[in-house]
């Protein structure tokens, strides 16, 4: 049902006018159990401070990347397939196609390169890589 590269708009926070803002998230890894690692794509806009590990140009990876954007590894997290299904059912998440495989690889490599990746995300990713080596 969920695979690496699947994209979702996920409602993330309330704005000052009580509406919710949504962001594009990508499943970068389907772990060995029912857990997924997902990362957020944010627009660079006029920001002077952002994670420069993985920069995406318009059209790179997905049609919704319409401006220079970056992978916000600080907002990457682990979510269960059950919870993502609930978000979809609650209409707090919508499927939005699949990320380009070549760019997805670049996004995955950034998990370990970025100094902003949370420890639990980094460890889950490393554990997955280690499991591939053991096979």
Rounded to two decimals, what is the model's pTM? Answer: 0.88
95, part of any domain: yes
Kindly report, residue by residue over 30-53, the tens digit of the pLDDT. 887 789 999 999 999 888 899 999
59, part of any domain: yes
Query: pLDDT 10s digit of each residue in the chain, 135 long?
Result: 899 999 999 987 654 555 567 789 999 998 877 899 999 999 998 888 999 999 999 988 888 888 999 999 999 999 999 999 999 999 999 999 998 899 999 999 999 999 999 999 999 999 888 887 876
Q: Count up the domains in the chain and report the number.
A: 1
Residue 12 structural domain: 6-134
What CATH number is associated with residue 90?
Answer: 2.30.30
Tally of CB atoms within 10 A around 48: 5
Pairing of strands 69-80, 55-56: antiparallel
- CA 72 vs CA 18, 86, 105, 123, 131: distances in Å: 24, 24, 15, 17, 26
1, part of any domain: no
Q: Of 97, 60, 55, 84, give the one whose Cα is nearest residue 72.
A: 55
Q: Where are the alpha helices (DSSP H) in 34-118?
A: 81-89, 101-113
């Amino acid at each position: 049902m969920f695979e690496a590269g699947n994209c979702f708009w996920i409602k993330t926070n309330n704005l000052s006018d009580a509406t919710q803002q949504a962001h594009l998230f990508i499943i970068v890894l389907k772990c060995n159990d029912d857990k997924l690692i997902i990362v957020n794509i944010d627009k660079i806009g006029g920001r002077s401070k952002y994670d420069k590990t993985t920069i995406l140009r318009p059209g790179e990876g997905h049609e919704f990347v319409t401006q220079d954007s970056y992978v916000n590894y600080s907002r990457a997290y682990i979510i269960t397939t059950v919870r993502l299904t609930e978000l979809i059912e609650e209409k707090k998440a919508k499927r939005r196609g699949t990320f380009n495989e070549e760019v997805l690889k670049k996004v995955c490599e950034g998990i370990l390169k970025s100094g902003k990746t949370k420890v639990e995300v980094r460890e889950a990713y490393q554990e997955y890589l280690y499991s591939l080596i053991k096979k």
